[in-house]
Chains A and B, each alone.
Chain A
Amino acid sequence: AQSVTQPDIHITVSEGASLELRCNYSYGATPYLFWYVQSPGQGLQLLLKYFSGDTLVQGIKGFEAEFKRSQSSFNLRKPSVHWSDAAEYFCAVVPRGSQGNLIFGKGTKLSVKP
Chain B
Amino acid sequence: EAGVTQFPSHSVIEKGQTVTLRCDPISGHDNLYWYRRVMGKEIKFLLHFVKESKQDESGMPNNRFLAERTGGTYSTLKVQPAELEDSGVYFCASSQNLQETQYFGPGTRLLVL
Contacts and interface: CB of A to CB of B under 8 A. Distances in A.
Given A99-B55, A101-B33, A101-B48, 7 more contacts: A44-B93, A94-B99, A100-B33, A100-B98, A100-B99, A105-B42, A107-B42
B7 to A, nearest CB: 13
Interface string A91-106: 0101000011111111
Contacts of B93: 44, 102
A99 B105 contact: no
Nearest to A51: B99
A43 B99 contact: no
A44 B104 contact: yes
A43 B95 contact: no
A63 to B, nearest CB: 15
Nearest to B31: A100
A102 B101 contact: no
Nearest to A103: B45
B104 A43 contact: yes
B59 A106 contact: no
A78 to B, nearest CB: 20
A80 to B, nearest CB: 26
A90 interface: yes
A87 B55 CA distance: 32
Interface of B: 3-4, 31, 33, 35, 41-45, 48, 55-56, 59, 91, 93, 95, 98-99, 101-107
A107 B41 CA distance: 9
Contacts of B48: 99-101
Contacts of A4: 42
Contacts of B42: 4, 104-107
Interface in A1-39: 4, 32, 36
Contacts of A55: none
B98 A99 contact: yes
A42 interface: yes
A46 B103 CA distance: 8
